[in-house]
Amino acid sequence: MVRRGSRRLYNLSERILKINRRLFGDSFRCQYCGEKFEVGDVIYAVYNKNVKWYHKKCYELTLYDG
């Protein structure tokens, strides 16, 4: 379940995707479904102690898990 923290919505461009893949490597994937992100995906970045990324649809599903 997603805990409270600040979150930000992103629409992934090719540039942002390349930068994040370079910084985070294979761990730059959805924390809910495990799929890698593609250009054009709409994702949430949730910031607590660490950053976690979710597809928008997956993040909304985590709000109802429980």
* pLDDT tens, residue order, the chain (66 aa): 445 678 888 899 999 899 989 998 888 999 999 999 999 999 999 888 888 899 999 998 888 865
**51-55, strands of its sheet edge to edge:** 6-11, 42-47, 51-55
- The residue ranges of every structural domain in the chain are 6-64
Query: What pLDDT, on a 0 to 100 scale, did the predictor assign at position 19?
Result: 92
Q: Are 42 and 11 in contact (CB under 8 A)?
A: yes
Q: Are 65 and 1 in contact (CB under 8 A)?
A: yes
Query: What pLDDT, on a 0 to 100 scale, did the predictor assign at position 48?
Result: 82
CA 56 to centroid of chain Cα atoms: 8
> Alpha-carbon distance 66 to 1, whole Å?
7
Query: What pLDDT, on a 0 to 100 scale, did the predictor assign at position 27?
Result: 84
> Alpha-carbon distance 8 to 47, whole Å?
8
Query: What pLDDT, on a 0 to 100 scale, did the predictor assign at position 4?
Result: 62
